[in-house]
Structure 1
Amino acid sequence: MSIQDSLEKIRPALQTRVANSLARGAGVRENFQEQLGRFLDLIAQALVSGDASWLDPILEEWSNARTQTDLQQGERNLSGLLHQVITYSLELGREMLSEADALELVAGLMPIYLHAVEKAAALENESRLQYVSNELQSAQIRLKKLDKSKSNFVAVAAHELKTPLTLIEGYAAMIGDLAAQENEQMHMLIQGTHNGIRRMREIVDDMIDVSQIDNHLLVLNFQPLWLNRLFNMLQADFTNIIGQRRHTLEIRPFAGSEELLFADPERLYQALKNLVSNAIKYTPDGGKIIIDGRILSGFVEVTITDTGIGIAPENQEVIFEKFGQLGDVSLHSSGKTKFKGGGPGLGLAITKGIIEAHQGSVWVESEGYDEVKCPGSTFHVLLPQRTQPSDPNLAKLFGAGENSPAQLPDDF
């Protein structure tokens, strides 16, 4: 008996067994048997021609017919179908053919089946890869929308909070003016109200800053400044807090700290203040904070080093993201300088936005997180060494950076 005749002999039983095994329901089985019949016709053609590629079109058709749900759940895969066809072909050959005819049929079918299995595996891998790629792209789109929604919420919430906060602040000031000066208890209550309002305004201002950074609306006002003057202002502003926490704040003079730079003094001070505040917050009482720096090619580097609890390597980028919170949020406590005190998680994100708006960069180095050994952290701020403003009119006004400190405001 020829191989073609052997295949025709087992074909009806083969179609029935494969259909009963893989298809559920009479209607489904009928349609499946029709498709399976086409497949077996092509196998017969491949046997006659000796070319297994006759199966490629129907395998591609079946692969393309799989839905997203099929791909997600791993159903209707070609490999499973081919496995059943091969298994039942071998079984029926043993049951219905002589040993010699069965061996001849298997020898003829195996190269065709192997080609089909390889082709099916390649098609399935391609489909799966495309599915995963589409899912990843969809996830990225959803994340962008979520991030945009969060940014929009921050912007709207900040502006919505600003108006009632201004009213509360005004009425609190009026109450303070009306309260009798000798009423110490009333004065204490009003002072507490003012402190709460001031902290709330700081948070609202931070939210507005984050919104401006996210939407590329942060405007810098470049002016001449000297870093050592900013450092002196930081030391003056943190004197009381440093004393309360028994910290030491050491400011080391370095090449470049007394040289004129053009930057936005208020924004740069805000960025450095956030870094010092962060160092105070995560350094146990009695610790030390050092402000230092150096000149690099075309840049000035400022470093703020603390003897605090450190930052784990996996969190050294997370802390610069907005709302980046480390540790257990359930243990959160408000406070800008209290040890491990919480906050909305905006300060370092704002610092990063301000420094990058200056075409600089900021990063942190730490051996890791350890509340016992306190390995500390070092924050690096890299600023372009601008010695004259980019605006030609300002360059004329300030003499292209040749002004002496006596000719410029003393604030910076």
Structure 2
Amino acid sequence: MRTIEIFDKLEKKFVERASEELAQGEEIREEFLPQIKRYYGLLQQSMVMGEPQWMHPVLDDWVQVRTQTEVEKQEASLTVLLNRIFAVTHQVVSEELHPQEALNFIKKILPIHAHTLEYATKKETQVHVRYVSSELENVRVQLEKLDRSKSDFISVAAHELKTPLTLIEGYMDMLRENIPDNEYIFLLLDGVENGTRRLQEIINDMIDVSLIDNDLLNLNLRPIWFDRLLKMVFAEFEKYLQKRNQTLDLREFPGIDTQTYGDAERIYQVLKNLFSNAIKYTPDGGTIIVDGRLLPSFIEITVADNGIGIAPEDHERIFQKFGHLGNVALHSSGKTKFKGGGPGLGLPIAKGIVEAHGGSIWVESEGHDENTCPGTTFHILFPILESPPIEKTTQ
């Protein structure tokens, strides 16, 4: 019996059986019937022509009609449906044809079935990849909006806080000038002044973060020498080092006195943040070593401590805004107290300033351990410039 005659003989029973097996309910069965007939017709065409590609149109349509939920959860896989259709085909062929004739017919269908499975799997994978890519893009857009909102909030909050803080400072000065000498009152005013000074530093950090986020950080590039900047930072932190019984070893490395161009105030800010970070996370009696080396077109500065260290998974996180490590509620407050808390802006600001100079900053640490204290080393790479770039000077 010829292939076309066999298909004509099996069509009615195949369509009825497939509709019953694959569609639950009379209404669904009626809707599914044209699809089964179309599949059967293309299967016949594929066998007659010897080209399984004839099955592609119906497979493409079936892949596209899957719901978003089915794609998301990878449910209602087309390969499952095709295997069930093949099982129905095998049943009908076995019932309607002689054993040898049925075997020969199934052998002809198998390559087509294998091709449909491969093609359907590829198409379903493409649809799922497109769905996942779309979801990732949506998440990226939402994160960008969230980050932009956070940056806007930081900027607005910082500027709104500056006005009342200025008033507080003004009234404090007036109090100092107009009240009689009273050691106790002056002690109280000193406490208020220290608090407002710390608040001013936090507000300035918030403004700096906002400038960095919006690419508005202006650099006043002038000749600088790192040995002078490092000695100035050391002088500022000397009393805190003595209070914590810590040792700071400022080494004279090759290139430390090399002239380059940079924003001295901003680079000083970077070094202050790194010194403060090293002091905070190094136990009392610890050691901080500032070293470096001269590289082709660059100078590298390292700030190493024998403190509690940083876990490898947090090496990038610490350079993100508000990148606190550990439980913030357990931190003490202060810039030099052991594990002292803060807004988590110092290192992100340092990163923004260094990168604005065309440099880079990174951290090395074997891990975090408050008992063994594996230590941490921050690396800063600054370009050596013979003259200031015009665009950065006038930005």
Q: TM-score, normalised by structure 1?
A: 0.88
Give 1:339 deviation, angstroms: 0.8
Distance 1:301 1:108, change over 3 A: closer
**Paired position in structure 1 for 2:348:** 349
**Paired position in structure 2 for 1:31:** 31
1:92 and 2:98 correspond: no
**Paired position in structure 1 for 2:219:** 220
Aligned residues, how many? 392
Code of the residue aligned with 2:73 in structure 1: it is Q
**Paired position in structure 2 for 1:297:** 296
Give 1:3 deviation, angstroms: 4.4
3-state SS, counterpart of residue 300 of structure 2: strand
Give 1:297 deviation, angstroms: 1.1
**Paired position in structure 2 for 1:161:** 161
3-state SS, counterpart of residue 194 of structure 2: helix
Asked if 2 retains the 8 angstrom alpha-carbon contact of 1:4 and 1:47, the reply is no
- 1:299-378 matches, within 5 Å, as 299-378=298-377
Code of the residue aligned with 2:214 in structure 1: it is N
**Paired position in structure 2 for 1:278:** 277
Asked if 1 retains the 8 angstrom alpha-carbon contact of 2:332 and 2:338, the reply is no
Give 1:85 deviation, angstroms: 0.4
**Paired position in structure 1 for 2:140:** 140
Give 1:25 deviation, angstroms: 4.0
d(CA) in 2 for partners of 1:74, 1:366: 42
Range with bigger deviation, 238-247 or 165-174 = 165-174
Distance 1:46 1:391, change over 3 A: closer
Distance 1:51 1:360, change over 3 A: closer
Distance 1:170 1:20, change over 3 A: farther
**Paired position in structure 1 for 2:151:** 151
Distance 1:163 1:70, change over 3 A: same
Distance 1:245 1:98, change over 3 A: same
1:51 and 2:56 correspond: no
Range with bigger deviation, 104-113 or 266-275 = 104-113
Asked if 2 retains the 8 angstrom alpha-carbon contact of 1:332 and 1:342, the reply is yes
3-state SS, counterpart of residue 198 of structure 1: helix
Give 1:298 deviation, angstroms: 1.4
3-state SS, counterpart of residue 238 of structure 1: helix
Code of the residue aligned with 1:191 in structure 2: it is D
Asked if 2 retains the 8 angstrom alpha-carbon contact of 1:6 and 1:101, the reply is no
d(CA) in 2 for partners of 1:251, 1:384: 21
Give 1:140 deviation, angstroms: 2.0
d(CA) in 2 for partners of 1:73, 1:291: 54
Deviation digits for residues 247-303 of structure 1 (CA, Å, limit 9, x no counterpart): 011211222222333211111100000000000011000001111222111122211
**Paired position in structure 1 for 2:382:** 383
How much identity, in percent, do the aligned residues show? Answer: 49
Distance 1:265 1:37, change over 3 A: same
**Paired position in structure 2 for 1:62:** 62
Give 1:241 deviation, angstroms: 0.9
**Paired position in structure 1 for 2:262:** 263
Deviation digits for residues 79-99 of structure 1 (CA, Å, limit 9, x no counterpart): 122011011122233344442
Q: Which runs of 5+ in 2 are unaligned?
A: none
3-state SS, counterpart of residue 368 of structure 1: coil
Give the alignment's Cα RMSD to 1 decimal.
2.2
Code of the residue aligned with 1:85 in structure 2: it is I
d(CA) in 1 for partners of 2:362, 2:102: 72
Code of the residue aligned with 1:237 in structure 2: it is E
d(CA) in 2 for partners of 1:206, 1:21: 68
- Runs (4+) of structure 1 moved beyond 6 Å? none
Q: Which runs of 5+ in 1 are unaligned?
A: 395-412
d(CA) in 1 for partners of 2:337, 2:12: 82
d(CA) in 1 for partners of 2:321, 2:41: 63
